[in-house]
Structures are given as structure tokens and as C-alpha cells.
Amino acid sequence: MSSFDTLYPPLIAVVGPTAVGKTATAIRLCCAFEGEIISADSRQICRGLDIGTAKPTPDEQEAAVHHLIDVVDPDQVLGLAEYQEMAYIAINDVLSRGKVPFLVGGTGQWVRGVTEGWRVPRVPPDYRLRAELEAEAAHAGPQALHARLAEVDPDAAARLDYRNVRRVIRALEVYSKTGIPISQHQGAQPPPYRILQVGLTMPRELLYARADVRVDRMVDRGLVAEVETLVDQGYDLNLPAMSGLGYRQVGAYLAGELDLEEAIHLIKKETHRFIRQQYNWFRLDDPEIHWFDTNGEFLAALYKLVDRFLVGGASGD
């Protein structure tokens, strides 16, 4: 960054896999540096999804102001473009009051969309078209769908793995609705902030064990009752919001497809898989992320980094 960039207001991102301790660490940082949290979690943004999303408790939300939690109902879809706009509004609101914004969460697409300033197509989802394309992928194979994308948007097809059917479908959807390849919609314009990215990690097996304990605690706290309540309120288990970790498996238990022990085992297994996916978004070799192992003593070094960044370091260096 140039010296001019040091004049930009600060934004600190706290990222990392689920169960690593992002919320607790971010609250400590907010208390130490007069900050507020902007959530970057695509499930915590939904009302009623509390236990299964490890949503900050009332005490935690009292300890530090949280933004973009409980914003939409479970049957409402919030795309990246809408989230990005809301996040920038929240960040600027925090800055306008002389506070430090902390962007905190494990939804990698949302974090990077904000910190890198992605230009996102404002094309609402067409669920009928998506269902048709999903059926086509199931019948003819994902390679056929990917080949179809290559015909209309070779640049996007070159970037997308054919196995990532969801993103291939989105690219086809955007082209269908606008007549313009998604690759021409996309790009990035860095936002007007100087950004410090802090990554939290720990040895993988310890993280898996920590996640397993958290799943058990969720069940003890009433995860099954939470899902039952959502179903009783009319929310279909096939909704995107209800496909998150815990909700889908407990839904299968309530439908009699699994016993509770099997459901819990699947939640833990899928959580481990999700952690691996998150490390694809937040790579340990990413030079933009300052990594800290939360299994050891790290807070003093983290506070020093943040303090140095806030007093004028362009990237925390």
C-alpha cells in the first residue's frame, strides 16, 4: 500500500474456521480497542437460527455491539450483493462514531467480497431455473453443465471446477437473465479502507475435537427443540437456511430417517468437512492474513499487532 492508503479508515477482519474462537477473540478486541462487530456469517444473519449457528449469546452481544445478526427470516435469501451493501453501511456507521469495525465470520465468500470489493451481479435467484439446471446436472453429469457454460462464458468456465455445480449454475443463471457473461459482471474495486486480516487457527485434530464438543453442547442446549420450533413455524427443511450444519441432520432425525445418535455423528462429520472447506477460503499461506494459533498464548501478540495497525501501519507490519 502507498502512504496515501494509511489515511484511509481501518477495517479489521477476524477470520478462520468454525469453532476456533472467533467470537470470543473479537469481543476481547472490541473491548480493548473500542470496536464493534460486523458479522460475516451466512447463517447467523437469520432469525431463529440461534443454537445451531453458535450465534453470539445475549451476554456476548452486550459485551460488544454486533451488526448483521438476526436480519432476515429463514425463508428469505440474502445474496452476496445484498450482504456486501449492508456490510459497507454497517462499517461506515461504526467508523462515523469513532469506533473500530471488526468484520468477523467464517463465510469466506462474504469476507472476501467485502475486503476485496467484489463487483457482484445483482441478479435475484430464479429457483425454477436452478432446479432445472440441477436436474440436468444430475441426469447428464456436471461436466455437461460445465460444457454448456463454456459455450457462453469461457472465461468463467476456465475458472470454475465442473464439480462446483452450485457456482456453475449461478453463472448460467446470470447469463440467462442478463445476456451478459458473469465474468463481465465480475471484478473488484478495493473498498476505501486500510485492512488488517487476522486469522485464527489451531492444529486440525484439536479443532475437530473442539468442534465435536461444541456440537454436543448445542444438542444439550436444545438444538432439536430449536429445529422443531422452526418447522412448527412453517419453515421447510429444504430452505437454503435450513440446509446448514445441524439443521439438516436434525431435520432428518425428526422425519424418522435417522436416530439422534446418527444425526449427531453426521453433524460432527459434516462440521469437519466444512472446516476443511473454510481453509480453502482462508489459506494458511495467504500473505494477507496474519495467523495466530489459539491453542497457545496469542492474545498479547495479537493486541500488539492491532495496536500497531491502528496507530498507522498500513497492513499491521
> Residue 316: left if φ>0, alpha if ψ -120 to 50, beta else—which one?
left
Query: Is 242 part of any domain?
Result: yes
The answer, yes or no, to whether residue 1 has pLDDT greater than 50, is no
* CATH number (domain holding residue 247): 3.40.50.300
Write out the residue range of the structural domain in which residue 134 sits: 127-185
**Is residue 283 located within the same domain as residue 181?**
no
Query: φ, ψ for residue 201 (rounded to 5)?
Result: -150, 175
Query: Residue 180 — very low, low, confident or very high, per pLDDT cuts 50/70/90?
Result: confident
Q: C-alpha grid cell for residue 104?
A: 468477523
**Is residue 204 located within the same domain as residue 174?**
no
pLDDT digits (tens, 9 = 90+) for 87-139: 999 999 999 999 999 999 999 999 999 999 998 877 878 889 999 999 999 99
* CATH number (domain holding residue 181): 1.10.20.140
Residue where the block lists cell 441432520: 249
Counting residues of the chain whose pLDDT is more than 90, the rounded percentage is 80
**Is residue 8 located within the same domain as residue 153?**
no
**What is the total count of domains within the chain?**
2
pLDDT digits (tens, 9 = 90+) for 141-171: 999 999 999 999 999 899 899 988 988 998 9
Half-sphere exposure of 108 toward its Cβ, with a 13 Å CA cutoff?
Answer: 15
**Is residue 158 located within the same domain as residue 104?**
no
- Strands of the sheet containing 289-293, edge to edge, are 66-67, 35-39, 100-104, 10-15, 194-201, 289-293
Counting residues of the chain whose pLDDT is more than 70, the rounded percentage is 97
Query: Is 317 part of any domain?
Result: no
Q: Is there a contact between 189 and 234 (Cβ–Cβ < 8 Å)?
A: no
What's residue 127's pLDDT?
A: 85
The answer, yes or no, to whether residue 313 has pLDDT greater than 70, is no
